[in-house]
Amino acid sequence: EDQVTQSPEALRLQEGESSSLNCSYTVSGLRGLFWYRQDPGKGPEFLFTLYSAGEEKEKERLKATLTKKESFLHITAPKPEDSATYLCAVLPVYNQGGKLIFGQGTELSVKP
């Protein structure tokens, strides 16, 4: 069964304290892995798409990396405005219909 597990469930950081969020996945074949940010009461905001092991993408303080079994979202010198829930999702290679399988998310809190 295709599955996505994110850890930790919640993460509290001080401003400037770098850390990483983990997304482990089990899928018969990976078509793509996606990271989203979700603020309370809002829809998920797209961050990154990764397609193959070894791929990396960066945006401001965020960098996403991908291996054959997991993805990391690295946050460098976070600021309070980075506080949000970060969602990871996979699209299996056999799925032509676009069904994303989401993890439970990591709730990040950055304190000043």
Residues that bind other proteins (CB under 8 A): 31-32, 34, 36, 41-46, 49, 87, 89, 91, 97-100, 102-105
> Which residue, 37 or 110, is less far from other proteins as judged by CB?
37
33 in helix, strand or coil? strand
Per-position DSSP letters for 45-97, written without gaps between them:
EEEEEE-STT-EEEETTEEEEE-SSEEEEEE-S--GGG-EEEEEEEEETT--S
> Which residue, 7 or 100, is less far from other proteins as judged by CB?
100
> Which residue, 42 or 112, is less far from other proteins as judged by CB?
42
Give me the least distance between CB of 88 and other proteins, in Å please.
9
Q: The tokens 């000043």 sit on which residue?
A: 112
Cβ-count burial of 43 within 10 angstroms (0-12 exposed, 13-18 middle, 19+ buried)?
exposed
> Which residue, 25 or 34, is less far from other proteins as judged by CB?
34
